Amino acid sequence: MLTKKRFFLALSFLLFITGAIYLYNDYEIIKLKLNLSEPIMWETPSEQDEIFVYDTINKKYENLGLKVTDLYYLPNLNRLHFGIWFNKSDKEDHLPSYIYEIILVDEKGNEYNANRFLNKKGVFDIFQYRSAIDLNLNQIEELYMYVYPVQEVDGKEVKREPEIKLIYSNK
């Protein structure tokens, strides 16, 4: 009986330590995923702007295993920032580092490249800070996100069919 008690005590301690290590290593990613931290890439340390936060209409890209944070708009800089994350065990080794090409398209067909990014690797997930420049959200009624999976074939990067979602609407 005493052996079972020691076993469960040791197992509990091991689970606690494992959880603590996970939280320590992924604390920043967890905050970003829960929108408790802003996925903003500032150009310089002195750069500042107001930050407007908009709920992302469609946060999940089921076919790609990708999730999106809320949208963070910097009106004076005309930049939109957001984050994406995915489970790194789902991805194959032959994919390029960014794995996804993201294009934002408004209702008029204007395209905004959102391929400026920074990777943050966690224990299980990869989080990418993303931004699109020269985007005036005040003049946009609807914004769609085109997410193109990129695969490396014979040393060349090939875009596959995108998954498209409406991410913003001011209607």
Per-residue model confidence as pLDDT tens digits over 90-136: 665 545 555 789 999 999 999 999 998 888 888 888 899 999 999 99
Tens of pLDDT, residues 33-81: 988 889 998 877 678 888 999 999 999 999 888 999 999 999 999 999 9
- Better-scored residue on pLDDT, 124 or 169: 169
- Better-scored residue on pLDDT, 46 or 10: 10
pLDDT at position 96 is: 55
Nearest CA among 33, 49, 164 for reference residue 100? 164
Highest mean pLDDT (candidates 12-16, 81-85, 90-94, 156-160): 81-85
User: Residue 19: pLDDT band by 50, 70, 90 thresholds?
Assistant: confident
pLDDT at position 150 is: 85
pLDDT at position 97 is: 57
pLDDT at position 98 is: 57
Q: Check whether 145 has a pLDDT greater than 80.
A: yes
Q: Check whether 161 has a pLDDT greater than 80.
A: yes
pTM of the model: 0.84
pLDDT at position 44 is: 75
pLDDT at position 90 is: 64
8 A C-beta contact, residue 13 and residue 5: no
Exposure of 156 in the CB half-sphere (CA atoms within 13 A): 4
pLDDT at position 114 is: 93
CATH code assigned to 32-169: 2.60.40.10
Q: Phi and psi at residue 154, in whole multiples of 5°?
A: 55, 40
